[in-house]
Structure 1
Amino acid sequence: MQATTPNRKASKILVCDDDLMVRVLARECLEAAGMDVIDAEDGIQALEAFQSELPDLVFLDVEMPGKTGLEVCAEIRALPQGMNVPVLIATGAEDADSIDRGFNAGATQYKTKPINWSLLSRDIRYMLRAAEAFNELKAQEDRLRYLAYFDHLTDLPNRRSFNEQLRRNLIDGHKRESLTGLIVIDVDHFKRINDSIGHERGDDLLRNMAVRIQDALTQIATIISDYPGAAVTADPDSLAFELARPGGDEFTVVVRNPASIEHLADIGNAIMESLNDPVEIQGHALVLTPSIGAAMAPLHGQTPELLLRHADAAMYAAKADGRARLRVYDESLEDDAELQLQLEEDLRDALDTGGLRMMYQPQIDTRTGEMCGVEALIRWQHPTLGAIPPDQFIGVAERTGLIRPLGDWILREVDADARKSGSNFPRSVSVSINLSPIQFGQSNFVSHLTQIIKQLDLNYTVELELTEGVVMTDAEHNLDKLRQLKALGFKLAIDDFGTGYSSLSYLRHFPIDTLKIDRSFINDIGTPDGDGIVRAILGLCHALDLTVVAEGVETKEQALFLADHGCQILQGFLLGRPMPVGDLMAASEQNYLPLITDSGSSTQAS
């Protein structure tokens, strides 16, 4: 049987042996199997042929004049293009030491002489297939690792990279007794702009903004010469910037060794000026105005958390002052701390008086169109401030120790909803509940959770959702904790997959049932990069036999793409917004196939 198909390029094999008969027999055998053969009679020729021809596999004899096969193998492995090419070494020696030397030199497989020529092409085909599968998985892992550190929309460092940038620069600044600045940039009214021009044009705006800020930063170093004493207080060569996009419409700049607070403010103003000119997006001339906050270490804080909090406070103060301006942090902004204290008191009251409520967002099986699960989402309607976003009040709970009673309340409330609603709560669905990093990190979390579930009537599946960062922090300890949760009967899901470590190792070794693809990747479906990323994640999950949930599905096109590429479960506004428990039965009786297949209407589910 031929090794090639009409659409597949023939595999290229480099055969190196000083025995002419071996080279002739190898060529006849491999060419008969549809492979292309390049031969070399010694190690020098083999290395030259490898670099000029870039073969798919190398067949090497060990004993050759000049360079031995082991030396050639080691030199191939030292080349960037030779790291992953399979190498088959042939030798007459069968002792363990000889075989070990071959593998230590980088051999993929070992074959003893005399060669069984009838099996050689089969063995090489197997090696090529294994190498192809490995390289595909490696490419997926490399891509996901890139996504763990970089924002795929702008190619700037993402939130995780930013956190590491800031921490590294603060440590370095402390050692050098120099200043470190932080600038936070937020686009004014971006949500309104995004809603009016569409997400695709909104993404174009963010890419344009990233380029403008980066261009401005490359020109800003000369500003330092305008400051008296700058040559003494800051070396121009040490002034450096690290731009990042932590998420949404926010950018950050870590400034290493600014001359002064005034210098930091001028850098911020130069960034603002770089964004003044209108942006031409598909025939629309749009003017972006940023609100910018700045803070300086050590004056405004010496830890990443404190410096970021103060730069954020300055940015929000700039918005409150009328937007399109810059504010440098000062102590008058501490009023925000009073608001946080008030929120803490009000959250305690809400826990005691029933001011919180649970909502449930449907999860739809793409194979049947039926509701197979719900995500439990907590909501807080403040009596005077209105709806408080979960990320805001959960942050308050984490900082104040309220996260444990809040987590207990969520579990008990979900169970109470299941009991009191009777037939309105479909028992066939699983319920996903988010775990806070602080909550999961508590030393007695599992034992405390064990006591809670003993008091509940959990005759339905509960899936606990954690982020990648939570799982990978102290991975060895967390592996044991996850196993204990599995033993209690919980399913485990990784939330926002693709934005953290995205490592094959933890997916292989941790007892994970489900991956939830982050909504930022779903938003990019329809673009070449976006489609490729989602396909890579789905391929990885299928290879590891994991269930995949796509979050943030808002269009039928996204649903069709995901269903066509084997995503098992969809969640998003297209299929249903978060709803009270009383509406769940009606949602569970609906069939959603018309929304996720080519037939039927694309009207949003209610």
Structure 2
Amino acid sequence: YKPKPVNWSLLGRDVQYMLRASNAFNSLKRQEDRLRYLAYYDPLTNLPNRRSFNEQLTRILKRAQRLNHSAALLFIDLDNFKRINDSIGHGRGDRLLVEIAKRLAGELREDDAINYFSDSNADDVDPRDRNTEIARLGGDEFTVVLSDVRDMRDVEGVAQRVIKTLSEPISLHSHNPVVTPSIGIAMYPQDGLDADSLVRNADTAMYAAKADGRACFRFYNEEMNARSVEQLKLEEDLREAMREGQLELRYQPQVDTLTGRVVSLEALVRWKHPIRGLISPGDFIPVAERTGQIIELGEWVLAEVARHCTYWETLGLVDFRVCVNISPLQFNQPNLVERVRHFLDTSGIDPARLELELTESAIMTDAKTNIDKLRQLNELGLDLAVDDFGTGYSSLSYLKRFPINTLKIDQSFVADMSSQDGVAIVDAIIVLAKTLNLRSIAEGIETRDQLRHLAAQHCDLMQGFFFARPLYPEDVPDALRTDYARDIADALRD
């Protein structure tokens, strides 16, 4: 063997070539790893993505079939995320999603084995090592797959834990939004034998949870499919109703406890369907909120209120106020203040004629930001009321800072005044309102006993069937001239 002489002049170039080749290889490998990661994982939350979820769910169902096990799919959607995202900004919205993912994974990791995989040959992984799979499908949709389910109560327990941990306020610097989840649950094998049907039915159950009030979970049942078809038809009919003028306003009087006079009215939307007759607001308002039609509906209500007020004023009626409900979706529009200002300018209505009613949960979703928005609305000359007070989660410290004028006691508390607890809650809200120098109004008054107690506790305003049902606009002038002082005095003497 005769060694080849080393060409020292070329050695440096050879080493440099090998180093460059090695670096290029490593760079390609990193890019390959990154692409593989992005193919199966969500880059924002680092949870498995839709592709990974679909593959995992298919394998889990195959394994469950082979081992004769049950499985559960939890389809999680964040309530009102779009309006929260628009309110706090998309950057903070992304950080909120990251925190939601951390909470979800952290909560379930406490006593569930969570593993993610994307290996196409992983069909035979021991199911005992992978009881729970979490994924983000996109947007504000997350899933949890539970394999080897032995008891439905275990599934309920997981759903309850998820709701509890995700519903805690999230600290994002100057914002503290509260995000609640609605969860639909589909069970294998009874609710679907394949991934597509299980996802479809869990999604249907999730919408049922939203329809039932949000921040809850619902198990799928076959009746939900019929309800989904009905909801789609209702959406189409509502769009037509708004085009064809099928919607009308009614006004329910609000009575001053001291004088017995009607001093304000609540505007309420009614839908007269040409075939189905009168459709309850409880049926179509959630549809309008879900589809975004509530924005157009809300603007129509304001325009109608302005038109009716102008007419009543021509009759010499000037001492009254109209309360208009503002939905959470309306309230969280970034340009809400500008829209309201434009309405006031173009309609010519006196701002003092209006009171905007906002739900407790809507203003508390991002309290720090909403304080400024409420202040701007108040500066336009509008009164502001917190509707359904006591059903949400108002912090007293925030309540003192909100530029509001009225606390409206939810009718569920008034209806429960036959119990000591119900009376205590109502009395506490009245005292709180007086302490904060706010008007108090109780809704849902139907009996003389309710009237007597509320009047004795000096609740400022009262509203309910005891005085009047919601009235047609043409009946409002007579109501504004009605005196209920004798009814109140008689009730106090009983």
Which residue is 1:527 aligned to? 419
Residue 62 of structure 1 corresponds to none
The one-letter amino acid of 1:397's match is A
Q: Please, what TM-score do these two structures have when normalized by structure 2?
A: 0.59
Q: What displacement does 1:505 show?
A: 1.4
- Residue 355 of structure 2 aligns to a residue whose secondary structure is strand
Matched-pair contact (CA < 8 Å) for 1:492–1:512: yes
1:362 aligns to 2:253 (yes or no):
yes
Match of 2:278 among 383, 387, 390: 387
CA distance in 2, matches of 1:231, 1:350: 46
Equivalent of 1:400, from 283, 291, 304? 291
**What is the correspondence of 1:108-257 to structure 2 with a 5 Å cutoff?**
172=108, 176=114, 233-234=149-150, 241=157
Are 1:478 and 2:379 an aligned pair? no
Shift of residue 256, structure 1, vs aligned partner: 12
- Could you say which residue in structure 1 is the equivalent of 2:36? none
- The structure whose RCO (Cα within 8 Å, separation 6+) is larger is 2
Report the 3-state secondary structure (helix = DSSP H, G, I; strand = E; otherwise coil) of the residue aligned with 1:477.
helix
Following TM superposition, by how much is the alpha carbon of 1:350 offset from its aligned partner in structure 2, in angstroms?
Answer: 2.3
- 2:324 matched to which residue of 1? 433
Q: What pairs up with 1:75-90 in 2 under 5 angstroms?
A: none
After superposition, the Cα gap between the structure-2 partners of 1:372 and 1:452, relative to the gap in structure 1 and judged at 3 Å, is same
Whole-Å Cα distance in 2 between the matches of residues 524 and 414 of structure 1? 32
Cα distance in 2, alignment partners of residues 597 and 175 from structure 1: 67
Does structure 1 conserve the Cα–Cα contact (< 8 Å) formed by 2:183 and 2:209?
no
Pairwise CA distance, 1:495: 0.4
CA apart distance, 1:422: 4.7
Question: Counterparts of 1:404 and 1:532 in 2: how far apart (Å)?
Answer: 37
1:306-336 deviation per Cα after TM superposition (whole angstroms, max 9, x unaligned):
4625999xxxxxxxxxxxxx99535x85454
Task: Give the aligned partner of residue 170 of structure 2.
Answer: none
| Cα distance in 2, alignment partners of residues 175 and 420 from structure 1 | 67
- Unpaired stretches in structure 1, ≥5 consecutive residues: 1-163, 181-229, 245-253, 266-295, 313-325
Aligned position for 2:209:
308
**Structure 1 residue 551: Cα displacement:** 0.5
Q: Are the counterparts in 2 of residues 467 and 496 from structure 1 also a CA contact under 8 Å?
A: yes
State whether residues 450 and 488 of structure 1, in contact with CA within 8 Å, keep that contact through their aligned partners in structure 2: yes
Looking at structure 2, the residues matched to 559 and 385 of structure 1 have their Cα atoms a distance apart, in angstroms, of 35
Q: Percent identity?
A: 39
Identify unmatched segments of 5+ residues in structure 2.
1-99, 115-129, 134-145, 162-181
Task: Say which of 338, 343, 360 aligns to 1:447.
Answer: 338
- Measured after TM superposition, the shift of residue 597 of structure 1 is 2.4
Q: Is residue 269 of structure 2 the alignment partner of residue 378 of structure 1? A: yes
Post-superposition offset of 1:342: 3.0
Instruction: Decide whether the 8 Å contact of 1:239 with 1:256 is kept in 2.
Output: no
Query: Given the superposition, is the C-alpha separation of residues 566 and 243 from structure 1 closer, same or farther in structure 2, using an over 3 Å criterion?
Result: farther
User: Residue 481 of structure 1: SS of its match in structure 2?
Assistant: helix
Match of 1:122 in 2: none
* 3-state secondary structure, aligned to 1:301: helix
Q: Deviations over 1:56-82 (max 9, x none)?
A: xxxxxxxxxxxxxxxxxxxxxxxxxxx
Q: CA deviation at 1:234?
A: 3.9
Asked if 1 retains the 8 angstrom alpha-carbon contact of 2:452 and 2:491, the reply is no
Query: Displacement of 1:538 after TM fit?
Result: 1.3
Other structure's SS at 2:317 match: coil
Match of 2:382 among 490, 497, 506: 490
Give, in angstroms, the shift of residue 429 of structure 1.
0.7
Q: What are the equivalent positions in structure 2 for 1:309-328 lying under 5 Å apart? A: 328=220
Distance 1:537 1:334, change over 3 A: same
- The superposition leaves residues 431-451 of structure 1 with CA deviations (integer Å, 9 ceiling, x where unpaired) of 000001111111111112221
Indicate whether 1:541 and 2:433 are aligned: yes
Structure 2 counterpart of 1:513, one-letter code:
N
Please state how far the C-alpha of 1:400 moved relative to its aligned partner.
2.2
The answer for the alignment partner of 2:481 in structure 1 is: 589
3-state DSSP class of the match of 2:202? Answer: coil
Q: Give yes or no for contact 2:187–2:198 (8 Å, CA) kept in 1.
A: no
> CA 1:328–1:353 in 2, change beyond 3 Å: closer, same or farther?
closer
Q: Distance in 1 between matches of 2:205 and 2:185?
A: 16
Q: Is the 8 A contact 2:264 2:322 kept in 1?
A: yes
> 1:540: how far off?
1.4
Q: How many residues align?
A: 335
Give 1:575 deviation, angstroms.
0.9
Contact 2:208 2:224 in 1 (8 A): no
Q: Which amino acid aligns with 1:454?
A: D
1:508 is displaced (CA, Å) by 0.5
Q: Secondary structure of 2:300's partner?
A: helix
CA distance in 2, matches of 1:355, 1:448: 24
> What's the Cα RMSD here?
4.0
Give the conservation status (yes or no) of the 8 Å contact 1:179–1:256: no
1:425 and 1:359, CA in 2 relative to 1: closer, same or farther beyond 3 A?
farther
Of 419, 424, 427, 2:310 maps to 419
